[in-house]
């Protein structure tokens, strides 16, 4: 009987999609083991790429709409529908990649566009939403998203506030009178690849706002603003893992919209039925563009490893680059390989054709070594 292997790659960011990585690997593997039974499962961890991965896996159809980007400019964006389930990726409408370096300023950016996409999904019949919130450009505690869904915010003088990081810092009262009632009928499951609380030294502002253009002074102001915002909302959601995701969008989704946060890779693996595929698998190959200590902190390959180890299926990892550390050596991967030949420049290695060739050659090497071990 032909050996069954599962290819569960995340994207090689800036170079290849997860499907392209798997195709290149399968081509090389079959040059050595032509009769292999290969199952391909694209994965993502909740950031950019989740929409494409889940849309492909679930056979969802793309939906487009005009909405507002982080700075309030109208753009055409998209999400996907599969029956009454919507798949939404925050990075597509409120993402950092939509802004150039000079435009990045979390005091000014807003998650309003994300709320518009959610509202559009409700209009088209969605009553279940899978929402990936990685890659955001905002630090407004989800204020913009909530505003687009009917919440109203007021400062201490009773003036209506328009969402932004700066406005979030001045919220004294929240009015939910006109909130979209369809939200109460909707299940929202959020994919997040971080577990930060809302505020404090490990919170959204201190850890992520500098990446979004915040100065040290802005970071202090935003952190205090998030503390104040949480006091207005009440409850203790600010301490929950993932509350600080996407500049506090994770907090708003849990505290005010009743959402459930899950590690992004766990949501994706559940959605594509990964566990069932392990039933008759002899080997799993996973990987991402760069494998390092961060890989083990909720990223795609670590989720694949955890699921496979529970079923006793060995896992090999392949990265474009590998930065070795003690944690990787003791992680449980049967072997970890680097696709890029020693001495090759990063720019060259990330070229699409070169990356595909490197992965194909690495697959051949891995297949030969696996066969040698398996036959002994």
| Residue where one domain finishes, among candidates 265, 289, 307 | 265
| Residue where one domain finishes, among candidates 220, 246, 265 | 265
Please, where are the H alpha helices in 178-322? Answer: 204-208, 216-233, 249-257, 264-271, 274-277, 300-310
CATH number of the domain that residue 281 is part of = 3.40.50.10350
Please, where are the H alpha helices in 129-191? Answer: 143-148, 165-168
| Residue where one domain finishes, among candidates 265, 288, 306 | 265
**The pLDDT value given to residue 375:** 67
- From CA 118, how far away is CA 61, in angstroms rounded? 16
Residue-range definition of the domain harbouring residue 75: 50-265
Residue 46 has pLDDT above 90, yes or no: no
**The pLDDT value given to residue 52:** 86
Strands 283-291 and 4-9: parallel
Instruction: Look up the pTM and report it.
Output: 0.85
Identify the burial level of 69 via C-beta atoms within 10 angstroms of its C-beta, where 0-12 means exposed, 13-18 middle and 19 or more buried.
buried
Q: Note whether residue 81 is domain-resident.
A: yes
Mean pLDDT across the stretch 84-103? 95
pLDDT higher at 201 or 272: 201
CA neighbours within 13 Å on the CB side: how many for 83?
4
pLDDT band at 43 (very low <50, low <70, confident <90, very high): confident
Q: How many domains does the chain have?
A: 2
Residue 193 has pLDDT above 80, yes or no: no
Q: What is the CA radius of gyration of the chain?
A: 22
Mean pLDDT across the stretch 41-55? 83
**Non-local CB neighbours of 224 within 8 Å, separated by 6+ positions:** 169
């Amino acid at each position: 009987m032909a050996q069954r292997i599962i290819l569960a790659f995340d994207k090689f960011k800036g170079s290849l999609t997860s499907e392209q990585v798997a195709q290149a690997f399968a081509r090389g593997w079959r040059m050595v083991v032509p009769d292999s039974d290969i199952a391909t499962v694209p994965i993502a961890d909740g950031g950019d790429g989740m929409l494409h991965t889940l849309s492909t896996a679930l056979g969802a159809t793309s939906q487009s709409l005009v909405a507002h980007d982080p700075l309030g400019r109208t753009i055409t964006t998209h999400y996907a529908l599969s029956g009454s389930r919507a798949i939404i990726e925050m990075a597509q409408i409120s993402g950092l990649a939509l802004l150039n370096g000079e435009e990045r300023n979390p005091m000014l950016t807003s998650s309003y566009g994300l709320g518009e996409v959610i509202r559009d999904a409700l209009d088209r019949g969605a009553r279940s939403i899978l929402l990936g919130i990685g890659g955001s450009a905002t630090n407004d505690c989800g204020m913009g998203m909530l505003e687009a869904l009917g919440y109203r915010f007021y400062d201490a003088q009773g003036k209506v506030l328009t969402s932004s990081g700066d406005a979030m810092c001045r919220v004294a009262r929240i009015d939910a009178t006109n909130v979209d009632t369809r939200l109460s009928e909707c299940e929202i499951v959020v994919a997040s690849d971080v577990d930060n609380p809302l505020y404090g030294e490990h919170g959204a502002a201190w850890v992520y706002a500098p990446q979004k253009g915040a100065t040290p002074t802005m970071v202090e102001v935003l952190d205090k603003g998030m503390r104040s915002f949480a006091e207005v909302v009440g409850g203790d959601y600010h301490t929950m893992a993932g509350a600080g995701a996407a500049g506090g969008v994770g907090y708003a989704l849990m505290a005010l919209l009743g959402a459930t946060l899950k590690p992004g890779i766990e949501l994706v693996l559940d959605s594509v039925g990964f566990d069932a595929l392990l039933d008759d698998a002899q080997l799993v190959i996973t990987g991402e563009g760069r494998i390092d200590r961060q890989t083990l902190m909720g990223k795609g390959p670590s989720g694949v490893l955890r699921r496979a180890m529970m079923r006793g299926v060995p896992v090999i990892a392949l990265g474009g680059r590998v930065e070795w550390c003690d944690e990787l050596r003791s992680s449980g991967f049967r072997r970890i390989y680097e696709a890029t030949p020693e001495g090759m420049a990063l720019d060259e290695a990330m070229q699409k054709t070169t990356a595909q060739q490197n992965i194909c050659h690495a697959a051949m090497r891995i297949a030969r070594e696996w066969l040698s071990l398996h036959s002994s």
